[in-house]
Amino acid sequence: MERVIVFDTTLRDGEQAAGGSLNIGEKLEIARQLERLGVDVIEAGFPISSAGDFEAVRLIAREVRTPIICALARAHPDDIDRAWEAIKEAEHPRIHVFLSASDIHRVYQLKKSREEVLETSREMVTRAKRYTDDVEFSPMDASRTEPEYIYQIVEQVIDAGATTVNIPDTVGYAIPDEFGSLIEGIFKNVPNISRAVVSVHCHNDLGLAVANSLESLRRGARQVECTVNGIGERAGNASLEEIVMAIKTRSDVLSLTTNIDTTQIYRASRLVSELTGFVVQPNKAIIGANAFRHESGIHQDGVIKMPITYEIMDPRTVGIPASHLVLGKLSGRHAFKERLAELGYSLSEEDLGRAFSAFKDLADKKKEITDKDIESLVAEELRTISETYHLDRLQVSCGDRGIPTAAVRLIGPDGQVLADAALGTGPVDAMCKAINRLVDVPNVLTEFSVKSVTEGIDAIGEVLIRIESDGVTYTGRGADTDIIVASAKAYINALNRLLAAKKAR
Ligand code: KIV
Ligand code: ZN
């Protein structure tokens, strides 16, 4: 069995998904879970893109010590210097430099000749190499580039010191056999290829990201770039859990292995879904709610008699809990902390204290607190880290006779107390208008949805709000047993993200 290096880019390409931005505390939580999952490389962000991204990469580099911590940089000196600033305290730092290679990108976007691209690639790898030995290079849009030119780039960047060469299917255009041939061609035509690891990075525009990745591994690639739940630009990236479980389940055909502790997959998936707000579709392979559910009588009968009749994997191998233990009013801090650890959270003492007091408040309103309640509650606590505006109080009056009215009190920057009231067509509209009078940022609300976290009339309601400003979408989430309060939290969360992005720009 040969080992495949798992390079996780949930915090970089995954976070690039429209409306998927994470705050610094959320990124650190995910990085810690990725470490428990056993990924070899965490691409923690793109430091030059914003001050927030820089800080998050720096924090992860300091705190997460086992995996390689990688920072992305365009083939530009400032990007490379900034990437190094962010990761220089990592135990194992890596700089990942990329530059477009295809004629389409070169002509319409870069306006550079092939020679210029070759020269810049070499120079920037040499620059990154001054900082660290571990340098990765990606010729962007490789799948739409003439293979001979890719061979040339790969050879030259390896000569300049690249230790990993990553071949991206940037726009998810490739077909497995074609992409596999490109990888095979690299091994056959690049004389110094044995001095680097060949990596692949596939997008899912045609739904082929995992198939393309696996075919490349069959043809010799030994690093695979992927994201938890397959989140990422447009239709997403290759999904980590699908690749890892395909390698494990079909080792008879693939003869490959990974370092992943598969029992951590479910937790990683829940955490990423909870913190990004991207819901996992029920029929999603490996971690969807229906992935191990059998509906037809014949299938149920078979599984009861012998699970392998209709189950190719044991759900326990991906960490799906056999039963959900329930906490309640009498559960103490210790039990709460242990359950958090089981769910993949490792909060600081201060955050734990806040989460525990929110848990106690919830236990007063709700008899049984399930794992999903706890996830929702901790995600709510993490969302409030580094917020500019915080909801202090909200009061609404509504009904079929009255005029919907909302009064809000916010704690603003530097602790100022701000209060106002507004009328609206309903309580949510009135609440948004009252908040808009205090937080004056033009935006349009484009999506509003409410779901209950668990069954029962006392369930927590989770609200997701998307707003748009200057063509960019910001997602906000809020959870509370009162759905109007949850809506206010979600709206403020979206506004805080908008303000943070504006400030970073
Ligand atoms: O899709 C892509 O080409 C990328 C590169 C930065 C590797 O994300
Ligand atoms: Zn990508």
Residue 308, Cβ neighbours under 10 Å: how many? Answer: 10
Distance 94 CA to ligand 2 centre (A): 17
Q: Are the C-beta atoms of residues 344 and 267 closer than 8 Å to each other? A: yes
The dihedral through the CA atoms of 24, 27, 32, 35 has a sign that is negative
- pLDDT at 21 (0 to 100): 79
Q: Which ligand is nearest to the CA of 236?
A: 2
What is the 408 CA–ligand 2 centroid distance (Å)? 42
All residue ranges of the chain with pLDDT < 70 are: 322-325
CA angle 46, 49, 50 (to 5 degrees): 110
Give nearest CA residue, ligand 1 atom 4. 170
Which three-class secondary structure state does DSSP give residue 256? strand
Identify the pLDDT of residue 431: 97
Bridging pattern class, strands 164-169 and 197-202: parallel
pLDDT in tens, 83-137: 999 999 999 999 999 999 999 999 999 999 999 999 999 999 999 999 999 999 9
Residues 6 or more apart in contact with residue 463 via CB below 8 angstroms: 448, 449, 450, 477, 478, 479, 483, 486, 487, 489, 490
Ligand 1 atom at minimal distance to the Cα of residue 166: 7
Burial bucket for residue 480 (CB in 10 Å: 0-12, 13-18, 19+): buried
Residues with Cβ within 8 Å of 49's Cβ and at least 6 positions away in sequence, in order, are: none
3-state secondary structure of 469: strand
Question: pLDDT at position 324, please?
Answer: 59
Nearest listed ligand to the Cα of residue 142: 1
Torsion of CA 34, 40, 43, 44, to 10 degrees: 50
- The residue whose CA has the least distance to atom 1 of ligand 1 is 170
* Cβ 394 vs Cβ 433: under 8 Å: no
Dihedral sign, CA of 185, 188, 189, 190?
positive
- Which atom number of ligand 1 is nearest to the Cα of residue 138? 7
Q: What is the pLDDT of residue 343?
A: 81
Predicted pLDDT of residue 383: 80
Pocket of ligand 1 (CB under 6 A): 13, 98, 138, 140, 166, 168, 170, 201, 203
Tell me if 433 sits within 8 A of 422, measured CB to CB: yes
Cα(5)–Cα(10) distance, integer angstroms: 15
Q: From start to end of 246-364, where are the E strands?
A: 256-257
200-255: pLDDT as tens digits: 999 999 999 999 999 999 999 999 999 999 999 999 999 999 999 999 999 999 99
Q: How far is the CA of 60 from the centre of ligand 2 (A)?
A: 21
Separation of alpha carbons 419 and 392, rounded Å: 10
Helix (H, G, I), strand (E, B), or coil: what is residue 290?
coil
Q: Which two tokens stand for residue 389?
A: 């505006």
Give the closest residue to 256 by CA, choosing from 243, 240, 238, 266.
243
DSSP label of 88:
T
Q: What is the pLDDT of residue 471?
A: 86
Q: Which of 13, 200, 213 to mutate to test the pocket of ligand 1 (most atoms within 8 A of CB)?
A: 13
The pLDDT assigned to 323 comes to 58
98 alpha carbon to ligand 2 midpoint, in Å? 10
Q: Which ligand is nearest to the CA of 17?
A: 2
